Structure 1
Amino acid sequence: MLISFDGFSKEQLVAHKAEMNLTASMVDNKIQGNAYMGCNQMSFVSEFKKGGKVKISTGVSTMKACQDMNLETSFQKKIETMTKYSIEGHFLTLSDDRGNTMKFVAADWD
C-alpha cells in the first residue's frame, strides 16, 4: 500500500486504494509489477539490485477515463524515475536522484 507520495495525504492514498504489487513472477532477476491508483491498472518491470539500486521500466496502463486522475498521472510519471530503494521492517521506500520518494507498507500492516 502506498502511504506517502508527492504531497498526497495518507487519507487520499487510502481512499484511492493506491497499491503496488511486487509479488508477481520473477524472470531473469526482474519482477513484473502492478500498480493500482484508483481507476486504472498499471504494469511495469522492476529490477532490484545490490546496494539499494532499482531500475523500473516505463509502465503501461489501461486507459479508462477517470474522474480524478491526479494521483495516477503523478505516479506514472515518477515511478520510472526511481533509482534507489530501502527496506525497513515492513516499509519499502523508493527514491530518485532529486530526493523524491514513494513509501509503501506491506498490505497486511498499517
Structure 2
Amino acid sequence: MNCTSAAKQNTQPAARDYKIQREWMLVAFGNYSKPDLIKKGAKIDLTANMEDGKIRGGAFMGCNNVFFTSEFKDKGKVKISGIGSTLKACPDMSLEDDFSKSFKNMTKYSVEGHFLTLSDDQGNQMKFVAADWD
C-alpha cells in the first residue's frame, strides 16, 4: 500500500506564482547608489493580503511611511495607485520625493530569481532584491 498526495493545482494569477507578496529592498534607482539606498533602509512591503487582485503596500525611503495600492497583472503589467505618506519633515527627503514621483508611473514588472524590476514606459527602472535573500 502506497500513500501519495495529489499535486495542488495553482489557479492563482501569474503574479502570485512569482511570490510578489514579500518585502523588497530597493537596490537600484536613478542616480542613487546601492550603499545610499541600503543606508536609508529603502524598501517596499507587499506582504499584505491580496484582495480583489490588489495589494495594499507600504514603502520606506528613510523618512516617512509611504502607502499605496498595487495590482500585479498578467503579462508583466502593474498598476500603482493611491500613493500617500505620513507627513514628517526630515532633513533630506530627496529619495522619498524622487521615489514617489517615479513609483506612480511604473507600468511593468518582471521577476528574475530574487529580483523584482519595475519600469515605466520611458525605460526608467527600479530594481529590488527580496529582503529575505540579500
TM-score by length of 2: 0.81
Q: Which residue of 2 aligns with 1:38?
A: 62
Q: Structure 1 residue 89 and structure 2 residue 117: aligned?
A: no
Which of residues 64, 86, 90 in structure 2 aligns to 1:62? Answer: 86
Paired residue for 1:48?
Answer: 72
Query: SS at 1:85's partner residue?
Result: strand
Write the mapping of 1:69-80 to structure 2, written as runs, cut at 5 A.
Answer: 69-80=93-104
Q: How many residue pairs end up in the alignment?
A: 110
Superposition RMSD in Å: 0.6
| Separation in 1, partners of 2:102, 2:49 | 23
Q: Cα distance, 1:25 vs. partner?
A: 1.5
Give the 3-state SS of the residue equivalent to 2:31 in structure 1.
coil
Tell me which amino acid in the other structure corresponds to 2:43.
E
Q: Which runs of 5+ in 2 are unaligned?
A: 1-24
Q: Percent of pairs identical after alignment?
A: 62
Correspondent of 1:5 among 20, 29, 32: 29
**SS of equivalent to 1:67:** coil
The amino acid across from 2:76 in the alignment is G
Residue identity opposite 1:56 in structure 2: I
Query: Which residue type is aligned with residue 91 of structure 1?
Result: F
SS in 2 for 1:57: strand
Measured in 2, the distance between the counterparts of 1:10 and 1:58 equals 27
| CA shift for structure 1 position 58 | 3.5
Query: Structure 1 length as normaliser, TM-score?
Result: 0.98
Note the residue ranges of structure 1 that are not aligned, 5 or more in a row.
none
